[in-house]
């Protein structure tokens, strides 16, 4: 039997994230069954938005970031790389690229996003509004970053095609997003 003392960092991160995502999925499933997809989406997004400031404060502390604001794309890249190691383990099947200045590109393996697969499994995919990319947007809002997302974050992109990809383009030259 593998105890926490025998687990490496990546195994612990994956275990905790799988547990969190299972709770999140079961919460969504039960809300969906009791209240319908519109209410489940609305409450899911409200929970994500209200959690983001606390999550980002904890993340900054965990990563040793003491600055009030992230002022440059280089600082953002370092922050996001660290945050991804905590919160976006391989089982989620997402890839993130920051090689283009001021741009975070995301993509999920075709028909292999963990949230997409979960929503298909519970029968909620037809009305599901993506909480995964919405969570990232809420992170960036909580950090006071100015950005635009392309495409706009709405329904599940895999519902109408095989892939989900897009980008957040940041503006570090002006004041924070409102």
In a domain, 79, yes or no: yes
pLDDT surpassing 90 at residue 12 = no
CA–CA separation, 115 and 121 (whole Å) = 10
What residue ranges in the chain does DSSP mark as E strands? 94-97, 103-108, 147-150, 164-170
Q: For the segment 146-171, what is each residue's pLDDT rounded down to a tens digit?
A: 999 999 878 889 988 878 999 999 99
In a domain, 30, yes or no: yes
Look up the pTM and report it.
0.88
φ/ψ (deg, to 5) at 29: -55, -50
- What's the CATH code of the domain at 54? 3.30.1380
pLDDT surpassing 70 at residue 178 = no
Contact 97, 104 (CB under 8 A): yes
Nearest to 74 by CA among 45, 92, 54, 99: 99
**Count of the separate structural domains present in the chain:** 1
Q: For the segment 111-150, what is each residue's pLDDT rounded down to a tens digit?
A: 888 899 999 999 999 999 999 999 999 999 999 999 999 9
Q: What's the pLDDT score for residue 21?
A: 85
pLDDT surpassing 80 at residue 1 = no
**93: pLDDT confidence band, cut at 50, 70 and 90?**
confident
Please state the length of the chain. Answer: 178
Which domain, by its residues, includes 140? 9-170
φ/ψ (deg, to 5) at 132: -70, -55
In a domain, 175, yes or no: no
In a domain, 161, yes or no: yes
In a domain, 3, yes or no: no
φ/ψ (deg, to 5) at 7: -85, 140
Q: To the nearest 10°, report the CA torsion of 165, 132, 51, 54.
A: -50
What is the average pLDDT score of the chain? 90
**16: pLDDT confidence band, cut at 50, 70 and 90?**
confident
Contact 151, 61 (CB under 8 A): no
């Amino acid at each position: 039997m593998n105890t926490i003392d025998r687990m490496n960092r990546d195994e612990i991160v994956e275990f905790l994230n799988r547990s969190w995502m299972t709770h999140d999925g079961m919460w969504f499933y039960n809300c969906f069954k009791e209240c319908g997809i519109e209410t489940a989406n609305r409450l899911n997004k409200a929970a994500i938005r209200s959690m983001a400031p606390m999550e980002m404060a904890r993340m900054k502390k965990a990563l040793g970031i003491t600055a009030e604001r992230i002022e440059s794309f280089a600082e953002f890249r370092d922050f996001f790389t660290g945050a991804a190691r905590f919160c976006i383990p391989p089982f989620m099947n997402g890839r993130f690229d920051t090689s283009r200045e001021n741009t975070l590109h995301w993509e999920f393996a075709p028909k292999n996003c963990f949230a997409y697969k979960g929503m298909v499994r519970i029968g909620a995919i037809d009305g599901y509004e993506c909480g995964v990319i919405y969570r990232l947007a809420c992170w960036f809002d909580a950090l006071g970053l100015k950005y635009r997302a392309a495409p706009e974050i709405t329904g599940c992109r895999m519902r109408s095609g095989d892939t989900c990809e897009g980008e957040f383009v940041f503006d570090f030259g002006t004041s924070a997003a409102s």
